[in-house]
Amino acid sequence: TPQNVLGLVAEMVTSPPMWLDVLKVDIDSYDCPVLEVLLQRVRARVMLVEANPSIPPPYQWAMLYHPELWDFFNGFPTPEEVPIRGCSLAYEVDLLRRFGYDFVAFGGHDAIFTHRSVRSAWAPLEVPMDEFDCYNEAFIAANGVPIALTRRWFYGMPDMQAAMSEIWSFFSDWMAANAGRQFPFAFRSN
């Protein structure tokens, strides 16, 4: 959880930030809040972060921590049935940019970022990559969101406010119908 992740790595981090070669964040829930806290003490040259591919750029969406969330998730046979997991690619790009990371690639459920200190390793490619182009070229796996809605939000809604309202309603309505309550999430656009 965001509340205990620093305690879990405290013994390894002797002088922050601790540098790793690779860090993978994939907890199928409140990944970005955990990552944001973790970045206070840990850095990695390469970072792989699970993204919820159902929410296209420019929409920044992230599931926030709630103590009852895991029990709720465990009531479903597979995680793919639950759309309220993880965070969107745009949310990750914005978060990691603030900590000195370049967006490099996206596909399936994972985004790859590298720290700017290793930017030269990507030559002759120019990083950071464009999140819209990468998303457009990627295989998008639906996460409990009908793929027709994901396509509509990416390609079919030129009015960003209308799209945001529809996305907000989708997640709020899904939680009301499936959880009987609202779990906290963050939502904004670039």
Residue range 99-108, pLDDT digits in tens? 999 999 998 8
pLDDT on residue 108: 80
Residue by residue, DSSP assigns 104-152 as EEEEBTEEEEEEGGGGGGGTTS-SSPPHHHHHHHS-B--SSS-HHHHHI
Of 96, 38, 31, 39, whose CA–CA distance to 69 is shortest? 31
Whether residue 23 contacts residue 47, with contact meaning beta carbons closer than 8 Å, is answered with: yes
Contact between 150 and 140 (Cβ < 8 Å): yes
| All residues at 6 or more sequence positions from 57 whose CB lies less than 8 Å from its CB, including other chains | 88, 89, 90, 93, 131, 132, 135, 154, 190
The encoded tokens of residue 29 equal 């829930």
Helix 31-38, helix 89-97: angle, nearest 10: 10
Residue 55 tokens, joined: 């929410």
Q: What is the pLDDT of residues 142-164, one digit of tens each?
A: 788 999 999 999 999 889 999 99
Phi, psi of 143 (to 5 degrees): -120, 70
pLDDT in tens, 66-90: 999 989 999 998 878 899 999 999 9
Tell whether the model's pLDDT for residue 6 goes beyond 80. no
Which of the two residues, 144 and 16, has the higher pLDDT score? 144
